[in-house]
Amino acid sequence: MFKKLSGTPYMLWSIIFIIVPLFLVVFYAVSTKDGDLTFGNFKRFADPIFISVTVRSIYIALLATVVCLVLGYPLAYGITSVSPKYEKLLVILLVLPMWMNFLLRTYAWQSLLGRNGMISSLLKLVGLGRVELLFNEGTVLLGMVYNFLPFMVLPIYTVLKKIDTKIIEAAEDLGANKITVFMKIVLPLSVPGIISGITMTFMPAVSTFVIPALLGGGKYTLIGNLIEQQFLLVGNWNFGSALSVILMLIVLISAAILYRYDKQEERVNI
């Protein structure tokens, strides 16, 4: 009885705050302002401008995910291989920036990268001359990598941490060198961590609107900005909802692809 009851508040919560709003979004997406059913909102999306914004969002989110993986994997691996005393410290250092407000951290980059900011001044001192660091694609990418890197490192770190060292020792006993151990044992076993790392980085990256607004100077529009604009500025909730549904589909499809890949990996391991 108690077991049954204990789930009820959660169920109610998800129905009221997740399921119902989701249906509302879908309903808005397929209706006009007056409530008539239509596919016009989706047809409007077929405009080359909106398609190119979507492609751009997926492209930069993928790029940010790849950079996070390339930077994050060695970092996670490095953390597991130092002595336990420093290991804890390193994990805390990694998470520490997340204690600060996300907006504030992103806004801080604006003054760091500004024309008279610290980094520009340093570059000038070294004699590299004036470099435009702020308000371009690279800045947006930097903002994404900076903000989402911990989401890549933490799951990989957790998985690496759990690998049974006996397996590695066994491989070494059988004559495998460090590279072979890494390629044949560590890497395959850490795939679940990589997969959840990719999911946790890609999803916020593809939907963010704050980072392009602040670091892209409003010149670099992503699908998140389009949605924000439709809801807050234009007041066209129907088109905004259609865009949200499309964004949800993108996230769902990418999750499905990763899930399948995850399944295959498991089979190979067995």
For 37, phi then psi, to 5°, come to -70, 140
Q: What whole-number distance in Å separates Cα of residue 252 and Cα of residue 66?
A: 19
Of the pair 192, 217, the CB lying nearest other proteins is at 217
Q: What whole-number distance in Å separates Cα of residue 238 and Cα of residue 35?
A: 10
Between residue 130 and residue 189, which ones bind other proteins under the rule CB under 8 A?
132, 134-135
Q: What whole-number distance in Å separates Cα of residue 59 and Cα of residue 63?
A: 6
Site pattern 101..140 for other proteins (x: CB under 8 A)? ------x--xx--xxx---------------x-xx-----
Of the pair 128, 131, the CB lying nearest other proteins is at 131
Of the pair 49, 95, the CB lying nearest other proteins is at 49
Of the pair 5, 268, the CB lying nearest other proteins is at 5
Establish if 221 lies at the interface with other proteins (CB under 8 A).
Answer: yes
**Site for other proteins (CB under 8 A): which residue of 11, 234, 249, 256?**
234
**Site for other proteins (CB under 8 A): which residue of 225, 238, 244, 254?**
225
| Binding-residue total with other proteins (CB under 8 A) | 30
Smallest separation, CB 36 to other proteins (Å): 17
Taking CA atoms, 212 is separated from 12, 142, 263, in Å, by 36, 11, 34
Count CA within 13 A, CB hemisphere, residue 64: 34
**Site for other proteins (CB under 8 A): which residue of 152, 194, 195, 226?**
226
Burial code (b: 16+ CB inside 10 Å, e: under 16) for 199-237 equals bbbbbbbbbbbbbbbbbbeeebbbbbbbbbbbbeeeebb
Establish if 43 lies at the interface with other proteins (CB under 8 A).
Answer: no
